[in-house]
């Protein structure tokens, strides 16, 4: 990637959207102008679905205008009812998609190492009203897919993964996206792979994909037949073109992220009070984020370090703070006042995600780490 890196005095945000070289995008745009085909399963849409199946090692992908619409549609496709057990430690879209389907989120605590759903907590929360489990692969770290699948099978529950952070992540058996009844990806501009906005559902079989494809296009089965109350969630040709161009550089981008991960770990390894994330157990990890956790023996509070970084032009994010059930709109859920999530809460109160994107230079990453290592000094 030969695009110009940010200048030293430019703000360093937690992520900087990756853009393909303009000269690689132009042929796609010229073809769109030539054909006047802008949406509705155009040629680039079909090419991108096929290319992503090949790259990700899955058989059935449905592209979406964004990942949230993918989440909403997945729950429609599986005809969920009642309660869905999920994590409090995620972006709010995870739970919002449940509310859009008139489902009740039941939040349970997370594993202290991975910050993913704790299967023991999930099992303890199951009631006769439970229809599904909605885990998140937090920061791209794979959840306990075997433990969660065992519980889903034992109790006859659906298992849907919010895999927004998991583009290209693999375990020993292949793509992490093959697990569960469905996995949902996000291709938002902040993600490892982006189509500016966008997303996808990975389905287990052709029949499920067909239902998903009906639902994302108003429920149309053909020109004169509507089979379900679908919505308009289609990805357009512009988004698909960007995706095809991005895909040519994705391996290079992930390798660059791995290099930045190494720099952060080395620079922060001996900083008292800063805890780095555990090294991923994934067979292939995408380094989607680099969270640090500010412990009690650090000289500043988490928020003091957060604003110290901002004073130095470094705009990290407190992903995920506050917890989803701590937002006022979730405060009236049945039984919410009697629930507690101590592990998720502690992580939420301590986390800062540092900038992580391919255009970030080694020098900039070291400067970011120095601000964390010497909070009283000058960067």
What pLDDT shows up at residue 36?
Answer: 97
Of 47, 6, 2, whose CA–CA distance to 21 is shortest? 2
Q: What is the mean pLDDT of each run of 10 residues along the chain (379 residues)?
A: 54 94 96 97 98 98 98 98 98 98 97 98 97 98 98 98 98 97 97 98 98 98 96 98 98 98 98 97 97 98 98 97 95 82 98 97 98 78
Instruction: Decide if 200 contacts 187 (C-beta within 8 A).
Output: yes
Q: Where are the beta strands (DSSP E) in 141-181?
A: 158-162, 170-171, 174-175
- Helices 93-100 and 67-77, packing angle to 10 deg: 40
Which residue(s) pair with 62 in the sheet?
A: 201
- Spell out the domain ranges in the chain: 22-247, 250-373
CATH for 22-247? 3.40.640.10
pTM over 0.75: yes
Of 241, 215, 269, 273, whose CA–CA distance to 78 is shortest? 215
Domain 250-373: which CATH number of 3.90.1150.10, 3.40.50.2300, 3.10.20.90, 3.30.1370.60: 3.90.1150.10
Of 48, 92, 99, 37, whose CA–CA distance to 72 is shortest? 99
Which helix (H) or strand (E) covers residue 354, if one does?
Answer: strand 351-354
């Amino acid at each position: 990637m030969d695009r110009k890196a940010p200048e030293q005095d430019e703000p360093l945000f937690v992520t900087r959207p990756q853009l393909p070289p303009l000269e690689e995008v132009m042929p796609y745009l010229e073809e769109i102008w030539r054909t006047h085909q802008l949406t509705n399963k155009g040629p680039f849409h079909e090419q991108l679905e096929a290319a992503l199946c090949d790259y990700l090692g899955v058989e059935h992908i449905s592209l979406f205008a964004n990942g949230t619409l993918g989440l909403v549609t997945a729950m429609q496709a599986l005809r969920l009812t009642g309660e869905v057990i999920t994590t409090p430690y995620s972006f709010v879209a995870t739970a919002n998609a449940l509310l859009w389907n008139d489902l009740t989120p039941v939040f349970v605590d997370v594993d202290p190492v991975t910050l993913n759903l704790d299967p023991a907590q999930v099992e303890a929360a199951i009631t006769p009203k439970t229809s599904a489990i909605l885990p998140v692969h937090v920061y791209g770290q794979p959840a306990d897919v075997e433990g969660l699948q065992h519980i889903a099978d034992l109790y006859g529950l659906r298992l849907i993964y919010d895999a927004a952070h998991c583009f290209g992540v693999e375990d020993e058996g292949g793509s992490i996206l093959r697990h569960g009844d469905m996995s949902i990806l996000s291709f938002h501009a902040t993600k490892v792979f982006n189509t500016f906005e966008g997303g996808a559902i990975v389905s287990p079989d052709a029949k499920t994909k067909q239902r998903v494809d009906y639902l994302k296009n108003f429920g149309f089965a053909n020109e004169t037949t509507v089979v379900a109350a679908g919505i308009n969630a289609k990805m357009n040709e512009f988004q698909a073109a960007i995706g095809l161009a991005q895909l040519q550089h994705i391996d290079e981008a992930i390798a660059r992220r791995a290099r930045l991960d190494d720099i952060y770990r080395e620079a922060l390894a001996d900083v008292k009070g800063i805890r780095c994330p555990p090294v991923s157990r994934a067979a292939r990890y995408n380094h989607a984020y680099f969270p640090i956790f500010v412990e009690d023996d650090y000289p500043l509070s988490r928020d003091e370090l957060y604003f110290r970084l901002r004073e130095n032009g470094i705009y990290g994010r407190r992903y995920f703070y506050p917890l989803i059930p701590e937002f006022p709109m979730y405060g009236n859920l049945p039984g919410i006042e009697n629930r507690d999530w101590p592990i998720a809460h502690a992580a939420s109160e301590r986390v800062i995600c540092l900038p992580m994107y391919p255009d970030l230079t080694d020098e900039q990453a070291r400067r970011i780490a120095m601000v964390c290592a010497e909070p009283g000094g000058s960067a």
